[in-house]
Chain A
Amino acid sequence: MNIYLFWRQPSQMVDSKRMRTSNFQWLLSTFVLLYLMVQVNSYKNGTLNSLKCTTKNLVGWDCSWKGAFEEANGTSEVCIEDRPRSCYQLKKTNFKIPALLPGDHEITVRSSYGLESSISNFTLNEKNVSLIPDTPEILSFSADFPTSTLFLEWNDKGSNFPYHMTIIWEIKILRTERRELVKLETYNMTVNGQDTVHRWSWASDLPLECATHYVSIRCYFDSLYFSGHKEWSNWSQMKEIPYWSPLPYLKAYPQDKVVLAGSDITFCCVSQTKVQVAQIGSTFCPLIPLDGENVAIKVRNISVSENSGTNVIFTTEDDVCGTVIFAGFPPDIPQKLNCETHDLKEIICTWNPGRPTGLVGPRNTNYILFESFSSKYVTFKRAEPFTNESYQLFFHVLPNQEIYNFTLKAQNPLGKSESTKLVNITERVSPHTPTSLKVEDINSTAVTLSWHLLGNFVQINLLCQIEINKANSKQELNATIKGVDNADYLIDVHKLNPYTKYTFRIRCSSETFWKWSKWSNEKQHITQEAIPSKGPDIWRERSSDGRNLVIYWKPLPINEAHGKILSYNVSCSSHEETQFLSEVLDPQHKAELPLGKTDCIISVVAKNSAGPSPPSKIATIEIPNDDLQVEQVVGIGKKILLSWHRDPNMTCDYVIKWCNSSRSEHCLMDWKKVPSNSTETIIESDQFHSGVRYQFFLYGCRNQGYQLLRSVIGYIEELAPVVAPNFTVADTSADSILVKWEDIPVEELRGFLRGYLFYFQKGEKDTLKMRGLEPVGSSDVKIKNITDISQKTLRIADLQGKTSYHLVLQAYTDGGLGPRKSMFVVTKENSVGLIIAILIPVAVAVIVGVVTSILCYRKREWIKETFYPDIPNPENCKALQFQKSVCEGSNALKTLEMNPCTPNNVEVLETRAVPKIEDTEIISPVAEHPEEGSNTEPENHVVVSYCPPIIEEEIPNPVVDEAGGTNQVIYMDVQSMYQPQAKPEEEQDIDSVVGAGYKPQMRLPINSALEETAAEDDIDKTAGYRPQANVNTWNLVSPDSPRSTDSNSEVVSFGSPCSINSRQFLIPPKDEDSPKSNGGGWSFTNFFQNKPND
């Protein structure tokens, strides 16, 4: 025993600790050596060893040993020392003994073999006993092919065990002929001293038809009271479920199976021939070989199938087999389960199925509505095609039962679910839609409504809501009605308006509100007529001729007329009598009455079919008001606010009457009555328009007579004038213009006139026509804002004479500026200046002439002596001075010094034609013309006495000879120019006349046509005064006849002879419409004027 234990321990150590190889080899060698020594010693001594005991049911032990005796035919006696009569004679090396109590027991074995004997002692303890159950036996092993389920039965043989203990069973499932382990399950149970048959089942993922399945079991006793070693039993004999024998045709499994979507599933095919491919839908799958030619495919996470299922197909060389799988979900928990009734006869339970199962047809979810109190149920029968609205079940209301506990059970091949609902059905009433709504009159303000409602509502009260619609208003009434069984309901509606069109509709609920029914159809009804509640609103006006009184009244509003107004009775009552005047048929709303001598109270009564209204009265008298002022008002937002001070004398009411002030007809558009305690009112009317002037009259009522208190004109909104003020030029002078304008008509003013804007600037029509007047931002434009609207004239002063001005006038209101009206005016010529400009030079010239004449006269001797001596003294001539250096000493011989000579007069005694001398050639006239001793007689006599600044005029002369070509007059300074005047003789004749004395700036003879051209050239060359040479071109227009026109007609100009130096009107305007100003005005002031156009 010790050896045995000793043997076990190392093995355990090896198993448990995994010693290193070197240590292990060393220990193993040591143990083997020690074992051999003990064995040798044992055999040498004849002793026994290796006593082993086992038990299979804890009742008895089976013991055996090994030793020398084992190999000889001897006998043995085994004695248990602590037990009486416990010796056993044995001829074998094993023996059975009842199970010993826990603890050590001495065992003595006396062995005898031949002549030798030996005694061996062992110590036996339960801890050294092994518990090894018997090999279990399988009672049955069967299969359910459609579900691929294996069933296993076996007997635990519990009666063999003395006490309760746990037995652990281990079951293994092997598959295919290769015995591949596919399932190993541990199964715990407790034995209770009786034989018990245990059953175990297992669903195979692989259809059982396709492969052989084997099963085997073993057990393990897990006894708490046994302290020895416990071991598993041997595996039982293997049982098998063979796969189906090969069929003559292909067959795939499983057939038409419903599986959970997302799960893994295995398909297989039983075939005699080789399967080539397998596919699910259009997806090919790898083949898994099974027994024979059978194959399988494994599909993981299968998706939800379409309605007809998912096809799985196996294909051999010459055949095809397949199956259909339906992948879906178990039913979801029914959601929003709700039970209610429309009529308390039938309960309708509706629900939402939740997540779709993906299964249809016979695989679809079945619903059962179960009521637990009555144990009644109804089943759901689906009508294909499927619709969401079909999830409802009807359950008949049970008599005397108000509370229902419903359970809705859902089930399909993949599972089941349920939902519950506890309801008090009287509180879950949603009535049907009321029908047959009728309305009947009670009187003019009350009607009776009746309607029909399906359902048995005897046990509840109904809450009905009546909607009453009339024009622009809606009212809802709630009424509680005792329920009845399939009958009509009645209700009275009061406080209606007479002769009013109403629309009624109704809906109902239970008094313990759950849901309203749908609204019934609408029913229209007009209530009966009643007498008008008040008289019409009246007013009176005197006719335009003042002899009649016109009574106006307004039609009564429908809520006051209470019916169709047929006519109006007008009467006049005074202190003495009441006189019926006339009956006016609707829709006429006025009556004209002759004014009598005495005042009276006019009374108007409206009548409908129900009777007359209370009378409306108004006095004919109107109290005069001398202190009346016209005020102005402007509306705000299409409204006119009128306010006034409260007058305690006004005891009745106030009346505001208004009219369109621009209309010529009788002034009355409308009126409004305001209570006497009011001090303001807002007047608004659809007839009001912007830009239209209205006149408002406030009347106060005093002792049944109205007095005009205020007169107001106003606009709802002011607009800008639509026309410009019509203005004219009343007067024009050289420096001012007087403008006069007229009022703008009220209709075209469209607002209160706030003033005029007057713009003016210099300018002519043609130049301003294009760019227009730019009052803003133009420095040339002058603006006058005339805020005094009574002003109708304006004088514009400080103007320039003979100048065109552009005048513009526009009116404005608070609504804006009106259109402009413009005019062009030319101021008159300044005649005084012209006169002064002429007279002053003449006077100066005369004075100078007179003074010169006087001086010349008084100094004539000196002048003669100085300038015209009888014998000129050559000594005085520098030109004749001889150089002393040359002529000194000889008076006869002198040289003439060429000093500049400044003669006052040069008398040319003789001239002859000479060729034209170049400018650069200076020839002394002295050298050519000796002063004395010359026999040459002069042909011409030219005296140059005056040398003005160089003025050169070229006058083309087509008739001159070939030598000159042109007549040329040269005024030159003799001192600075010695240019000889070599001219033809004919020309010299002219020069003799021209060159003597004073030369006026007039050339005669002159061609008038050429003069115009020459005059234009002179403009640039001359700066002095030039007489008007071409008088024939003057356009003599009287300056005293000004012509003023507006800008659209013509330019006003004043005729005046023009200087050839004047820029005025020299270039005739191309516009033929313009006035002829080419020979027109000339002003002396223009001569000094800086013109912007220059």
Chain B
Amino acid sequence: MSQREGSLEEPKAESSNSLLPHLEAKIQQTHSLARLLTKYAEQLLQEYVQHQGEPFGLPGFSPPRLPVAGLSAPAPGHTGLPVPERLRLDAAALATLPVLLDGVRRHQAELNPRAPRLLRRLEEAARQARALGAAVETVLAALGHGSTTEAAAAATTPTAPGGFSAKVLGLHVCGLYGEWVSRTEGDLGQLVSGAPA
């Protein structure tokens, strides 16, 4: 077990042995959810790009990364943080993403009202991000760490000055969703691999 994972030893030692199976199951369950959502996030991104028109989706097109209020991409130094801290950041991002995804869905409802599958995926993504965030929060609570709901309160519906910016912003939000879900999956994976079988 790595040094970062070693930081989990303390809460584990503090918790009673009867809670361990439940915690492991919860971590495993959350990890599975994160892995599933990673796959969904990829599908969402593909679906999203497909409905934005060219040159979206064309090779060589790299839209600008517009700033998203209340959420940034996982920092490069994220992996250097302790696992609880990383999970806390994950939970905060996952708490922010539903609002952003809802905003993207609303914009897409105007832009692509005849793309029900995309709208449905966006709606489900928001709900699933919220569920995954809650699950991570539960894991954190079980590990003896605090809540991150303050960060979610700071998130606001993304606004863009124009349709193109909204498309780019939506693309960025979908990308962020995938990145954070994937990151969460990775962080939980470390817990899963470090936990006793």
- Among residues of A, the one whose C-beta sits closest to the C-beta of B111 is A308
How large, as a class, is the contact surface on chain B? 20 to 34
B110/A311 in contact, CB under 8 A: no
Tell me, rounded to whole Å, the shortest Cβ–Cβ distance linking B44 to chain A: 16
B51/A307 in contact, CB under 8 A: yes
State which residues 36-73 of B face A: CB under 8 Å. 51-56, 58, 61-64
Tell me, in angstroms, the Cα distance from A993 to B25 when the chains sit together: 143
- Contacts A311-B164, A320-B63: A360 and B55 contacting too (C-beta < 8 A)? no
User: Which residues of chain A are near B110, meaning CB under 8 Å?
Assistant: 361-362
User: Which residues of chain B are near A282, meaning CB under 8 Å?
Assistant: 54-55, 58
Proximity string of chain A (362-373) to chain B, C-beta cutoff 8 Å, 1 when within and 0 when not: 101000000000
B115/A324 in contact, CB under 8 A: no
Proximity string of chain B (73-115) to chain A, C-beta cutoff 8 Å, 1 when within and 0 when not: 0000000000000000000000000000000000001111111
Tell me, in angstroms, the Cα distance from A313 to B60 when the chains sit together: 13
Tell me, rounded to whole Å, the shortest Cβ–Cβ distance linking A306 to chain B: 5
User: Which residues of chain B are near A311, meaning CB under 8 Å?
Assistant: 52-56, 164, 167
The binding surface of chain B is classed by DSSP as loop
Partner among B63, B109, B164 whose Cβ is within 8 Å of the Cβ of A252: B164
B55/A313 in contact, CB under 8 A: yes
**Interface presence of B161 (CB below 8 A):** yes
**Interface presence of A255 (CB below 8 A):** yes
B52/A308 in contact, CB under 8 A: yes
State which residues 382-417 of A face B: CB under 8 Å. 384-386
- Among residues of A, the one whose C-beta sits closest to the C-beta of B55 is A282
User: Which residues of chain A are near B51, meaning CB under 8 Å?
Assistant: 307-308
Tell me, in angstroms, the Cα distance from A307 to B115 when the chains sit together: 9
- Contacts A311-B53, A311-B54, A323-B162: A361 and B63 contacting too (C-beta < 8 A)? no
- Among residues of A, the one whose C-beta sits closest to the C-beta of B165 is A322
Proximity string of chain A (255-282) to chain B, C-beta cutoff 8 Å, 1 when within and 0 when not: 1100000000000000000000001011
User: Which residues of chain B are near A279, meaning CB under 8 Å?
Assistant: 55
- Contacts A308-B52, A386-B114: A324 and B163 contacting too (C-beta < 8 A)? yes
Partner among A255, A307, A309, A312 whose Cβ is within 8 Å of the Cβ of B114: A307
State which residues 340-373 of A face B: CB under 8 Å. 360-362, 364
**Interface presence of A989 (CB below 8 A):** no
**Interface presence of A509 (CB below 8 A):** no
**Interface presence of B21 (CB below 8 A):** no
Partner among B64, B111, B116 whose Cβ is within 8 Å of the Cβ of A309: B111
Partner among A256, A309, A360 whose Cβ is within 8 Å of the Cβ of B53: A309
A324/B54 in contact, CB under 8 A: no
A310/B53 in contact, CB under 8 A: yes
Tell me, in angstroms, the Cα distance from A360 to B119 when the chains sit together: 15
Tell me, in angstroms, the Cα distance from A307 to B113 when the chains sit together: 8
- Among residues of B, the one whose C-beta sits closest to the C-beta of A322 is B164
B114/A360 in contact, CB under 8 A: yes
**Interface presence of A319 (CB below 8 A):** yes
Most chain A Cβ neighbours within 10 Å, of B63, B111, B115, B164: B164
- Among residues of B, the one whose C-beta sits closest to the C-beta of A382 is B113
User: Which residues of chain B are near A322, meaning CB under 8 Å?
Assistant: 63, 164-165, 168
User: Which residues of chain A are near B56, meaning CB under 8 Å?
Assistant: 311
A255/B55 in contact, CB under 8 A: no
B167/A281 in contact, CB under 8 A: no
User: Which residues of chain A are near B54, meaning CB under 8 Å?
Assistant: 281-282, 311
- Among residues of A, the one whose C-beta sits closest to the C-beta of B109 is A361
- Among residues of B, the one whose C-beta sits closest to the C-beta of A364 is B113
- Contacts A319-B64, A320-B64: A308 and B164 contacting too (C-beta < 8 A)? no
Tell me, rounded to whole Å, the shortest Cβ–Cβ distance linking A315 to chain B: 9
State which residues 216-255 of A face B: CB under 8 Å. 252, 255
B52/A385 in contact, CB under 8 A: no
A384/B114 in contact, CB under 8 A: yes
Tell me, in angstroms, the Cα distance from A998 to B112 when the chains sit together: 139
A361/B111 in contact, CB under 8 A: yes
User: Which residues of chain A are near B114, meaning CB under 8 Å?
Assistant: 307, 360, 384-386
User: Which residues of chain A are near B55, meaning CB under 8 Å?
Assistant: 279, 281-282, 311, 313
How large, as a class, is the contact surface on chain A? 20 to 34
Proximity string of chain A (280-316) to chain B, C-beta cutoff 8 Å, 1 when within and 0 when not: 0110000000000000000000000111111111000
- Among residues of B, the one whose C-beta sits closest to the C-beta of A249 is B64
Tell me, rounded to whole Å, the shortest Cβ–Cβ distance linking A432 to chain B: 32
Tell me, in angstroms, the Cα distance from A306 to B52 when the chains sit together: 9
User: Which residues of chain B are near A320, meaning CB under 8 Å?
Assistant: 62-64
Tell me, in angstroms, the Cα distance from A660 to B85 when the chains sit together: 107
User: Which residues of chain B are near A360, meaning CB under 8 Å?
Assistant: 112-114
A324/B162 in contact, CB under 8 A: yes
Tell me, rounded to whole Å, the shortest Cβ–Cβ distance linking A147 to chain B: 15
User: Which residues of chain A are near B164, meaning CB under 8 Å?
Assistant: 252, 255, 311-313, 321-324
Tell me, in angstroms, the Cα distance from A360 to B112 when the chains sit together: 8
Tell me, in angstroms, the Cα distance from A323 to B114 when the chains sit together: 21
Tell me, in angstroms, the Cα distance from A305 to B58 when the chains sit together: 18
Tell me, in angstroms, the Cα distance from A979 to B110 when the chains sit together: 142
A281/B53 in contact, CB under 8 A: yes
Tell me, rounded to whole Å, the shortest Cβ–Cβ distance linking A704 to chain B: 88
Tell me, rounded to whole Å, the shortest Cβ–Cβ distance linking B113 to chain A: 4
State which residues 148-170 of B face A: CB under 8 Å. 161-165, 167-168
Tell me, in angstroms, the Cα distance from A364 to B168 when the chains sit together: 23
Tell me, in angstroms, the Cα distance from A364 to B109 when the chains sit together: 13
- Contacts A308-B112, A361-B110, A385-B116: A324 and B167 contacting too (C-beta < 8 A)? yes
Partner among B113, B115, B163 whose Cβ is within 8 Å of the Cβ of A255: B163
User: Which residues of chain A are near B109, meaning CB under 8 Å?
Assistant: 361, 384
- Among residues of B, the one whose C-beta sits closest to the C-beta of A256 is B163
Tell me, rounded to whole Å, the shortest Cβ–Cβ distance linking B159 to chain A: 13
Tell me, in angstroms, the Cα distance from A312 to B53 when the chains sit together: 10
Tell me, rounded to whole Å, the shortest Cβ–Cβ distance linking A15 to chain B: 54
A307/B111 in contact, CB under 8 A: yes
Tell me, rounded to whole Å, the shortest Cβ–Cβ distance linking B83 to chain A: 37
Tell me, rounded to whole Å, the shortest Cβ–Cβ distance linking B99 to chain A: 22
Tell me, in angstroms, the Cα distance from A385 to B167 when the chains sit together: 21
Most chain B Cβ neighbours within 10 Å, of A282, A319, A320, A322: A322
Tell me, rounded to whole Å, the shortest Cβ–Cβ distance linking A998 to chain B: 132
Tell me, in angstroms, the Cα distance from A309 to B108 when the chains sit together: 11
User: Which residues of chain A are near B161, meaning CB under 8 Å?
Assistant: 255
Tell me, in angstroms, the Cα distance from A392 to B68 when the chains sit together: 42
Tell me, in angstroms, the Cα distance from A321 to B66 when the chains sit together: 11
Tell me, rounded to whole Å, the shortest Cβ–Cβ distance linking B187 to chain A: 32
Partner among A281, A309, A384, A386 whose Cβ is within 8 Å of the Cβ of B163: A309
Tell me, in angstroms, the Cα distance from A307 to B163 when the chains sit together: 12
Tell me, rounded to whole Å, the shortest Cβ–Cβ distance linking A544 to chain B: 86
- Among residues of B, the one whose C-beta sits closest to the C-beta of A384 is B113
Tell me, rounded to whole Å, the shortest Cβ–Cβ distance linking A1068 to chain B: 100
- Among residues of B, the one whose C-beta sits closest to the C-beta of A320 is B64
User: Which residues of chain B are near A364, meaning CB under 8 Å?
Assistant: 113
User: Which residues of chain B are near A312, meaning CB under 8 Å?
Assistant: 164
User: Which residues of chain B are near A305, meaning CB under 8 Å?
Assistant: 53
- Contacts A282-B54, A360-B113: A323 and B163 contacting too (C-beta < 8 A)? yes
Partner among B64, B113, B162 whose Cβ is within 8 Å of the Cβ of A385: B113
Tell me, in angstroms, the Cα distance from A305 to B163 when the chains sit together: 14
User: Which residues of chain B are near A309, meaning CB under 8 Å?
Assistant: 53, 111, 163
User: Which residues of chain B are near A386, meaning CB under 8 Å?
Assistant: 113-114
- Among residues of A, the one whose C-beta sits closest to the C-beta of B119 is A384
- Among residues of A, the one whose C-beta sits closest to the C-beta of B164 is A322
User: Which residues of chain A are near B53, meaning CB under 8 Å?
Assistant: 281, 305-306, 308-311
Tell me, rounded to whole Å, the shortest Cβ–Cβ distance linking A622 to chain B: 89
With A307-B114, A311-B164, A322-B164 already in contact, 11 other A-B pairs whose C-beta atoms are closer than 8 Å: A282-B58, A307-B111, A308-B51, A308-B111, A309-B111, A313-B61, A324-B164, A324-B167, A361-B109, A361-B112, A362-B110
**Between-chain CB contacts (< 8 Å), 23 pairs:** A255-B163, A255-B164, A282-B55, A306-B53, A308-B53, A309-B53, A311-B52, A311-B56, A311-B164, A312-B164, A320-B62, A320-B63, A321-B64, A322-B168, A323-B163, A323-B164, A324-B167, A360-B112, A360-B113, A361-B111, A361-B113, A385-B113, A385-B116
3 interchain residue pairs of minimum CB distance = A324-B163, A322-B164, A255-B162
